[in-house]
Amino acid sequence: MPGMTLLALSIFISSRDEMPSALRRAEQAVAAGARLIEWRVDSLAEQPENVAIITKLVADSPAPCIVTCRSTSEGGMYEGDDADRLELYTAMAQAEHPPRYLDVELAAFKRSSRWRAAMGKAVESGRTGLILSSHDFDRRPSDLLQRIEQMTTAPECSVIKVAWRARSVRDNLEAFDLLLNRRKPTIAICMGPFGLMSRAIAPKFGGLLTFTTDSTDNATAPGQTTISQLRDIFRFDVIDRDTKTYGVIGWPVAQSRSPMIHNAGFSAVNHNGVFLPLPVPPEYEHFKATVGELIDHPHLDFRGAAVTIPHKENLLRFVRERGGEVDALADRIGAANTLVVGDAGELSCTNTDCPAAIEALANAMRIDRSSLRDTTVTVLGAGGAARAVVVGLTDAGANVRVVNRDMNKAERLMKELGVREAAGSTSDVIINCTPVGMAGGPDPDGLPLQLADGEAIELDYSMTVFDTVYTPQRTPLIAEAESRGARVVTGVDMFQRQAAMQFELWTGAPAPLDVLAAAAE
């Protein structure tokens, strides 16, 4: 049943002066979908006289709440005496309006019989519950399973919470296994840039709750996601155990709009799927290990991926090694951008960049595909996107020139694709297939016009300039081309077209083009 995993807004409050604004934030969060409030009182609890303030904060909370006073030893800010912290928790448990849960680190609970006795008494009263928690902000703790067993067997423990910094996307799969094998209500979170999956699809595996924030500036842990992102982008409210998982694989990938458009599309056609950003470092070994484990996990239901820079050639190699089907176009290009995983785990890949690029270019030039014949096109770059564009242009009869900062790579691409380079130095069309100008990329403010020999491509009003980068829509290259009076083609048009083709491969349903376009914008 979807919706059983709760959204818990975590609010850090450091002084009594912040109480009014903190309560307003809590009220707004409840209106936005939060069902629990975690009051982080680390700093407030430094002064024992603030117990009354915290008691009132809990009483006025607009939703059931968790009180957490996190010690510095596990990433919090409380530096006071442990005895004072225990007095605070005892007072909370005995208050007229107790919190729904008190959060205590497993380490503190284990080392003090006073903690165990006091928390046992609090839980036995039936007025509050105990979250035993364990955090590692650097890595997965080597004794993670032992810690979970200690929490599981502690009679005082109502809820198990483990959080660690993920080393890769694969760490999320262990978090899901912990949820599936739980013997008590459990929260399992991977922190940091690799950990979004553990937060976004916790409902699929029965997590008790996901901690969230109302603004990335207010996050209380690395990688915490906002309520609006979880609900409006990642479909948190409708995820259940049958939800199929998809993602965009790249490095970097945070800038991708694919999650926005595909999740919007899934909603529009009632497809039970969720689409996530999946950052995977550039090396093939990382790609192979990560994608292999995603596919092989028996309960993730991983059904496909959009694959972007720098992994398009890696995808082709991976599918071949796994005995999957590489379609003729992707085979010819030598790169693929779409992975499809069938119901029985069978793999196939294709390249939707190629037809999408040609359609976008012809549409912007107000011509049909056949009219590209004898057009001279300079392609910037020699990676997977360039390979797709060169094949599409060649099939359309265009004269193609490839330039790259490493010209040996450009020459190798032309040779591998069997393309004869266009003569002369003038071009009707310039197409950027490098990540230069991409938000979050290696050179977001740069222009991809510098050649290997130190010369630069000159733009003029007679040209059509096409940037396959779509984030931002108006890249430095597009801005420069517009200033010269050139016709421009942004990457958004190509992106929407190739995404629509991917959508249909994954869902079997016609892509809701208006929905995808609105989400892409």
For position 313, what pLDDT does the model report? Answer: 94
φ, ψ dihedrals at 460, nearest 5°: -145, 175
Average pLDDT over residues 230-238: 97
For position 452, what pLDDT does the model report? Answer: 65
How sure is the predictor about 445, in pLDDT bands with cuts at 50, 70 and 90? Answer: very high
Q: What is the per-residue pLDDT across 170-191, written as a single tens digit (0 to 9) for each?
A: 999 999 999 999 999 999 999 9
For position 456, what pLDDT does the model report? Answer: 84
Q: Does domain 6-240 have CATH number 3.20.20.70?
A: yes
User: Has residue 3 got a pLDDT over 90?
Assistant: no
**Partners of 347 in the beta sheet?**
341
Task: Note if the bond before 259 is cis, omega within 30 degrees.
Answer: no
Lowest mean pLDDT among 124-128, 312-316, 454-458: 454-458
For position 180, what pLDDT does the model report? Answer: 97
3-state secondary structure of 115: helix
Please check whether residue 234 is in contact with residue 274, taking contact to mean a CB–CB distance below 8 angstroms.
yes
Give percent of the chain with pLDDT exceeding 70.
99
Which amino acid does the sequence have at 14? Answer: S
Q: What is the DSSP letter of 74?
A: G
Q: Please name the residue that has the structure tokens 């003569």.
A: 423
Please check whether residue 246 is in contact with residue 220, taking contact to mean a CB–CB distance below 8 angstroms.
no
Cα separation values, 45 from 52, 132, 160, Å: 10, 19, 23
* Six-digit token string for 390: 């060169």
Lowest mean pLDDT among 265-279, 329-343, 450-464: 450-464
Residues 6+ apart with CB under 8 A from 41: 13, 50, 54, 57, 67, 68, 69, 88
Report the alpha-carbon distance of residue 194 to residue 171 in Å, rounded: 8
Q: Which residue in 60, 76, 30 sits closest to 214, CA to CA?
A: 30
Q: How is domain 354-489 classified at the CATH fold level?
A: Rossmann fold (3.40.50)
Residues 6+ apart with CB under 8 A from 49: none
Q: What is the per-residue pLDDT across 372-419, written as a single tens digit (0 to 9) for each?
A: 998 999 999 999 899 999 999 999 999 999 998 888 999 999 999 998
* Six-digit token string for 44: 């407030």
For position 162, what pLDDT does the model report? Answer: 98
DSSP per position, 395-430: HTT-EEEEE-SSHHHHHHHHHHHT-PPPPSS--SEE
Our CA dihedral for 252, 233, 289, 167, rounded to 10 degrees, sits at 70
Q: Which residue in 6, 26, 355, 424 sits closest to 210, CA to CA?
A: 6
Q: What is the per-residue pLDDT across 115-161, written as a single tens digit (0 to 9) for each?
A: 999 999 999 999 999 999 999 999 999 999 999 999 999 999 999 99
How sure is the predictor about 442, in pLDDT bands with cuts at 50, 70 and 90? Answer: confident
- Our CA angle for 386, 392, 397, nearest 5°, is 120
Average pLDDT over residues 51-57: 95
CATH superfamily for domain 245-351+497-520: Leucine Dehydrogenase, chain A, domain 1 (3.40.50.10860)
Q: Which residue in 202, 157, 195 sits closest to 180, CA to CA?
A: 202
Report the alpha-carbon distance of residue 65 to residue 57 in Å, rounded: 10
Q: What is the per-residue pLDDT across 347-358, written as a single tens digit (0 to 9) for each?
A: 999 999 999 999
For position 441, what pLDDT does the model report? Answer: 86
Our CA dihedral for 174, 175, 179, 182, rounded to 10 degrees, sits at 70
Q: What is the per-residue pLDDT across 23-50, written as a single tens digit (0 to 9) for each?
A: 999 999 999 999 999 999 999 999 988 9
How sure is the predictor about 291, in pLDDT bands with cuts at 50, 70 and 90? Answer: very high
3-state helix, strand, coil in the chain (%, to 5): 45, 20, 35
For position 453, what pLDDT does the model report? Answer: 66
- Asked whether the domain spanning 245-351+497-520 has the same topology as the one spanning 6-240, the reply is no
Q: What is the per-residue pLDDT across 270-290, written as a single tens digit (0 to 9) for each?
A: 999 999 999 999 999 999 999
Q: What is the DSSP letter of 231?
A: I
Residues 6+ apart with CB under 8 A from 309: 250, 251, 383, 384, 385, 435
Q: Which residue in 130, 62, 125, 63 sits closest to 95, CA to CA?
A: 125
Query: What is the Cα 163 distance to its own chain's centre?
Result: 18
Report the alpha-carbon distance of residue 264 to residue 280 in Å, rounded: 24
User: Has residue 451 got a pLDDT over 80?
Assistant: no
User: Has residue 362 got a pLDDT over 70?
Assistant: yes
Q: What is the rounded average pLDDT for all residues in the chain?
A: 95
Q: What is the per-residue pLDDT across 467-485, written as a single tens digit (0 to 9) for each?
A: 999 989 999 999 999 999 9
Which amino acid does the sequence have at 45? Answer: A
* Six-digit token string for 495: 């992106």
User: Has residue 425 got a pLDDT over 80?
Assistant: no
H-helix or E-strand spanning residue 241 = none
Report the alpha-carbon distance of residue 1 to residue 203 in Å, rounded: 9
Catalytic residues: 135, 161, 312, 353
3-state secondary structure of 306: strand
Give me the residue spans of the domains in the chain: 6-240, 245-351+497-520, 354-489
